[in-house]
Amino acid sequence: MLGQRATIDQVMKLMDNGPFYLETKFDGDRIQLHRQGNSYRYFSRSSKDYTTSFGASPYEGSFTPMIHDAFNSKVKGCILDGEMVGWDAETEIFLPKGDHVDVKTIGRDEDSGIGIQQCFVVFDVLMVNDTNFANRPLSERAEQLKKVFEPVKGYIHLVHRRGATTKEEVVTALNEAIDQREEGLLVKNPASTYCPDKRKGSGWVKIKPEYVDSLSDQLDVLIIGGYFGEGRRAGMVSHFLCGVAVPPGMPGDKPSIFQSFCKVGSGYTLTELRDLGLKLKPHWQKFDGKRVPDCLALPAGSREKPDVWIPPSKSCIVQIRAAEIVTSERYRTGCTLRFPRVEKVRADKEYFDCMTTDELEQLKNMASGRLAHSHYDDEADGGVAPGKKKRRALGVRVERPKGVAANFRPTDTSDIQEVSSMFGGREFCVVNGTRDFSKEEMEKKIVEVQ
């Protein structure tokens, strides 16, 4: 079952203005555990079998022997849904993927870290013995889940779930998640049944900082093209053309077309660039502008043509940080990122898990293009901050056109022709102009040589 993306302002409506559950959204690998007696199997969201990573019985593997005795003796079989995350036994905290933890290799990989172990955080139950619970309301499943096993610290946990009824409680919980560097929140309707592969209208809503105005700046995009570098980067692909997926026509199908979205050439070290280059090098193909591959969607007459391209299924996702989303005709999406830089390579995600055009459009609408990171301030965003009363208006309010001051508007550089790469890989922030050159003119000059 999947969670629908939403903003805080949409939560109450999606929860039918009734009570709901708040859960921590963990940054791990989504896993379903299927147990029948002494037989265990572990599946990813895409049904990939990862049993060998955790253990097929109580007598093998790095994980299964640690949880087998936790199950209630009356439970002979069950299907549990949850998140497999890394657990630091020394500090007793969960480790996000951003800490380069591959939970599937813990216990088998010497580089996985000393004291790091696999921990399964369970948030749902689909079946117990021969009883199907998937069609029962979440409130009933939550109570049943408490009877399936006893938590074992650092190995198998029950998700922390709390009841809530107001938007203010969601705001507080999200800000707590930001402070604790958690991935976000899940808001769930207690009456929702378990609907596999359903997102919209499922009764589950996920809220990440990047879905909310001015809270985050991370986007997962797919590398679809490359540009050869110069100087120290000569001979290797140093800049990447990245794209987003066009949602397939049939539910359950993988996307086959990817629209160009941005070009990125900074954020990684030379060593990281070489490692990424070695991974992609066998799959690069020379790009022919007269015969653009069917899987790539570029705007007609686009000057943003890569030197090489790569079949999406052979590529990888990179997590991008940026200042904001701006309009651009250079890319098929009609927009691009301002000051993009690579945050990390998402080796934990398949190529088809990248951002989609629909998700990009939602992000643009929800955040007005801004991709900053801070606490959510309900009052600043037009609502009422927790614990505060709305002030009564004094006098007549005069409505004035809303807009962005000219000096803060992004410069449209889509028509700028690059004449050199003197400043390649560097980032500039132009605060203001001079008497001879305006801010806009200076930014265009920089793009010419970047």
In this prediction, residue 100 has a pLDDT band, given cuts at 50, 70 and 90, of low
pLDDT per residue as tens digits for the range 317-337: 999 877 678 888 899 999 998
Q: What are the structure tokens assigned to 357, written together? A: 């055009």
Where in the chain do CATH 2.40.50.140 domains reside?
Answer: 218-367
pLDDT per residue as tens digits for the range 243-284: 999 999 888 899 999 999 999 988 777 778 888 888 999 999
CATH of 4-208, one of 3.30.470.30, 3.40.630.30, 3.40.1360.10, 1.20.120.530: 3.30.470.30
Annotated catalytic residue within 13, 25, 281, 344: 25
Q: Where are the alpha helices (DSSP H) in 44-154?
A: 51-54, 64-67, 138-145
pLDDT, average across residues 223-235: 82
Structure confidence at residue 207 (pLDDT): 86
Burial 12-25 (b: 16+ CB within 10 A, else e): bebbeeeebbbbbb
pLDDT per residue as tens digits for the range 50-98: 999 999 999 999 899 999 999 999 999 999 999 999 998 888 888 866 4
Output 208 or 390, whichever has higher pLDDT: 208
Q: Note the pTM of the prediction, 2 decimals.
A: 0.55
Q: How far is CA 42 from the centre of its chain?
A: 23
pLDDT per residue as tens digits for the range 118-159: 999 999 999 999 999 999 999 999 999 999 999 999 999 999
| 48 CB-side CA count, 13 A | 12
Where in the chain do CATH 3.30.470.30 domains reside?
Answer: 4-208
DSSP secondary structure, 351-374, as one string:
GGGSPBHHHHHHHHHHHTTB----
- Per the annotation, the verdict on 344 as an active-site residue is no
Query: Which CATH superfamily hosts domain 218-367?
Result: Nucleic acid-binding proteins (2.40.50.140)
CB atoms within 10 A of CB 271: 8
pLDDT per residue as tens digits for the range 378-387: 655 544 344 4
| Separation of alpha carbons 129 and 79, rounded Å | 9
Judge whether 336 and 320 are in contact, CB under 8 Å: no
